[in-house]
Amino acid sequence: MLDSYEDFKQSIYLLTKIDLNSYKERQMKRRIDALITKHGITSYAEYVSKLKSDKHLFDEFINYITINVSEFFRNPDQWNLLEREVLPALFECFGKELKIWSAACSTGDEPYSMVMLLSKFMPLSKIKIIATDIDRKVLEKAAIGLYHVKSLKGLPNEFLGKYFTKISENTYKIADSIKSCVEFKQHDLLKDPYPPNCDLIVCRNVLIYFTDEAKSRIYANFHSSLKKDGILFVGSTEQIIQAQQIGFQNYRSFFYRKG
């Protein structure tokens, strides 16, 4: 590139309020450079100028820099542990109507998985989940509820027949009864206020893309957002280093309890 990536990061922050300094630089810069090159643009300054005037390019950029790899019941063993041990403990502590936040929810696979799992314990009318993501486009996809068959590979068969309709050879639509249990909102983990008094926060396979400083800030905010004895459910590559210093106790693998 002909100009400074540092200047580019500042310009993007002014334009979007997304702080690229909080992402691992080598990985993010490589993704952005590939996107710019695809459009035949030769400088960061030119790209920023086009982002300001071209809504399609702007939406593509936001979608591209946010990581949107997701699937239903990703890492099934962890969901089985959630069903067998974690949820029953939360029910005993807080009652059945839990306040659950699915943070960085991407295309909705995770909060919808949570609704289906909770449906084994209570009627859908009693389930309400807050689901947030920084990317408006993926939230729109989540609200529509259409999924490629690849996203369903970990879905228990009992839910596929009960809550999904096959639309085409590779596309399924999730039931409106499941969609109605989730409230989607745009939210930036690095700058927006966190929902208070949560019983369970699910944030998985996202923070691996952030710097250690940003991760520490987010984990501390999650801790503040949880009730005492509330649980944080993280991804399989996101063990919290020195969790006790933040105020978390190791509850089960990939589950942390607020002390």
pLDDT recorded at residue 122? 96
Instruction: Show the tokens assigned to 99.
Output: 């306040």
Q: How many CA atoms lie within 13 A of 248 on its CB side?
A: 29
**pTM for this structure?**
0.79
Question: pLDDT (tens digit, 9 = 90+) per residue, 171-188?
Answer: 888 999 999 999 999 999
What is the arithmetic mean of pLDDT over 94-122? 96
Which tens digit of pLDDT belongs to each residue from 128-137?
999 999 988 8
Which of 145, 96, 101 lies closest to 125 in space, CA to CA? 96
Tokens 């943070």 correspond to 103
pLDDT value of position 218: 95
Whether domain 76-258 has CATH 3.40.50.150: the reply is yes
Write the secondary structure of the chain as one string of H (helix), E (strand) and C (coil).
Answer: CCCCHHHHHHHHHHHHCCCHHHECHHHHHHHHHHHHHHCCCCCHHHHHHHHHHCHHHHHHHHHHHCCCCCCCCCCHHHHHHHHHHHHHHHHHHHCCCCCEEECCCCCCHHHHHHHHHHCCCCCHHHCCEEEEECCHHHHHHHHHCEEEHHHHCCCCHHHHHHHEEECCCCEEEECHHHHCCEEEEECCCCCCCCCCCEEEEECCCCHHHECHHHHHHHHHHHHHHEEEEEEEECCCCCCCCCHHHHCEEEEECCEEEEC
Q: Which residue has the tokens 């399609």?
A: 56
User: In this predicted structure, what is the pLDDT of residue 39?
Assistant: 94
Look at the block and give the residue holding tokens 């957002």.
225
Distances (CA, A) of 197 to 36, 93, 100, 201: 42, 14, 9, 10
Q: Are 79 and 116 in contact (CB under 8 A)?
A: no
- Quick one: pLDDT at residue 118? 98
Asked whether the predicted pLDDT for residue 125 surpasses 90, the reply is yes
Query: How far is the C-alpha of 53 from the C-alpha of 39, rounded, in Å?
Result: 15
Strands 100-102 and 146-148: unpaired
Range 39-58 average pLDDT: 92
**Is pLDDT of 1 > 60?**
no
Asked if the model's pLDDT at residue 2 lies above 70, the reply is no
Sign of CA dihedral 44, 48, 49, 55: positive
Q: What is the pLDDT of residue 69?
A: 58
74: CB partners within 8 A, 6+ apart? 109, 110, 113, 154, 204, 205
Residue carrying structure tokens 């990703």: 74
**pLDDT-above-70 percentage for the chain:** 97
Q: pLDDT category, 10, cuts 50, 70, 90?
A: very high
- At 125, list the tokens: 């009318």
- The domain locations on the chain are 5-65, 76-258
Question: Do 142 and 66 contact (CB within 8 A), yes or no?
Answer: no
